[in-house]
Structure 1
Amino acid sequence: MNAHTQKFLIDGPVGKIEVALDLPDGEPRGIALIAHPHPLFGGSMDNKVAQTLARTLVQLKYVTYRSNFRGVGATEGEHDNGIGERDDLRAVLDYMRAQPGQADLPLVLAGFSFGTFVLSHVAAQLREEGREIERIVFVGTAASRWDVAPVPDTTLVIHGEKDETVPIQSVFDWATPQELPVVVIPDAEHFLHRKLHILKRIIVDAWR
């Protein structure tokens, strides 16, 4: 992603998990975990949308972690349809919280596509345990393909108007019962080709 990205392995439920870490300048305001798109269709933590999420959250002063799902990069194990992947993200979160000075920092969860499905269930687990999440950011929410769990009303939902992978109506159908606004990027497809600068602007504006 950039010259300062650190990549390393941590222990997970079924083997090693590959993690990328990006640090903000100065005192961090929180920690963030980013989940990438579907592993069986080329998704990884180096996906352009995942990288844009990381770059933006680092700019907003978050210690930002990305991890590869099972079977991607140096992460061990086999794809588990988003079930075992939840346990892996919990392992990354435990690692994050165990780092000096990070135990009590506010937590942001950000996901793209398949990553929104996995993160939605991780967020539900955390909320059931009484653990606070400062904010969730979902891009290309995979509501037409998986059972994305309900999320808090502070969640920022961003979607491309012309997304053919996840039709925007499916996101409206998921968001409407929760009374969640959906921020639409005009003329954008699923991977937000040539629209990543707009994604960054939406997130930065939401934090103001």
Structure 2
Amino acid sequence: MNSQTQRFSLRGAAGNLECALDLPPAAPRGVALVAHPHPLYGGTMDNKVAQTLARAFVALGYAAARMNFRGVGKSEGEHDAGGGETDDMELLLQHMQQQYPGLPFALSGFSFGTFVQSQLQQRLIKQGKPAERLVLVGSAAGKWEMPQVPSNTILIHGEQDDTIPLSDVLDWARPQDLPVLVIPGADHFFHRKLQHIKSFVVEMWHR
């Protein structure tokens, strides 16, 4: 994101995992994990939407951690269709909780990353230690078997998304009675609309 971004690596089941950490100016009040879009279609932790999510959480006073999924950048291993990626994200969470014990944590993701984070949240709910909140941008409904998510989840989608149609997200959200924040004119990658993602997250966080 900038010269303040710290790079580090974790040892996962499939090998080393390349990670990045962005910190707020003062002591963090929470931890946020950001998951990037699909690795087989060019998705990396430096994706602009993933970076925008990290910036939003830093603005909220959170330590924001990102990870390159298996086979991306310097991360070893091969794409595992979400299963291994969820394991790796849980490993990143455990690492961050060791670094910042006792702080609340949030999970966020873009596109394929929303599938990973919603899977992780389900796992954490079963363990009795869920994230305080999810932020899902370009939710992967209709592409992957998205599980249910908590009622306070922030869902952001582009009106003109032709990768994951808005109608698919509404069909997934409707039975859960989840509101969806729609950005008019935005495509899947939110070209020229990224500022809306950050402002939505920051404004909605304390509601």
Tell me whether the two structures share a fold, i.e. TM-score over 0.5.
yes
Secondary structure of 1:44's counterpart equals coil
Q: Which amino acid aligns with 2:132?
A: E
* 3-state DSSP of counterpart to 2:18: strand
CA distance in 2, matches of 1:69, 1:202: 26
Aligned counterparts of 1:133 and 1:84: Cα–Cα separation in 2: 19
What are the Cα deviations for residues 183-207 of structure 1, in whole angstroms up to 9, with x where unaligned? 0000100000000011111111102
Structure 1, residues 112-155: CA drift from partner, whole Å, max 9, x if none? 00000111110100011000311100000010210011110010
Query: 1:5 and 2:15 equivalent?
Result: no
Match of 1:63 in 2: 63
Which ranges in structure 1 are unaligned for 5 or more consecutive residues? none
- 1:111 equivalent to 2:109? Answer yes
Q: Which amino acid in 1 is paired with 2:136? A: F
Question: For the aligned residues, what is the CA RMSD?
Answer: 0.8
Q: Which runs of 4+ in 1 moved over 3 A?
A: none
Give the percent of matched residue pairs that are identical in Structure 1 and Structure 2: 55
Query: Following TM superposition, by how much is the alpha carbon of 1:24 offset from its aligned partner in structure 2, in angstroms?
Result: 0.5
Give runs of aligned pairs for residues 44-193 of structure 1, distance below 5 A: 44-99=44-99, 102-193=100-191
Q: Partner of 1:158: helix, strand, or coil?
A: strand
TM-score by length of 1: 0.97
Q: Which amino acid is 2:128 matched to?
A: G
User: Given residue 155 of structure 1, which amino acid in structure 2 is its aligned partner?
Assistant: T
Question: Partner letter of residue 184 of structure 2?
Answer: P
Aligned twin of 1:195: 193
How many residues end up aligned between the 2 structures? 206
Q: Distance in 2 between matches of 1:128 and 1:141?
A: 22
3-state SS, counterpart of residue 110 of structure 1: strand
In 1, the alpha carbon distance for the partners of 2:180 and 2:196 equals 15
1:135 partner amino acid:
R
Report the residue type matching 1:145 in the other structure: K
> 2:118 aligns to what SS in structure 1?
helix
Q: Secondary structure at the match of 1:201?
A: helix
Task: Report 1:19-38 matches (<5 A).
Answer: 19-38=19-38
Structure 1 match to 2:42: 42
Inter-partner Cα distance in structure 2 for 1:45 and 1:95: 17
CA contact (8 A) 1:20 1:66 kept: yes
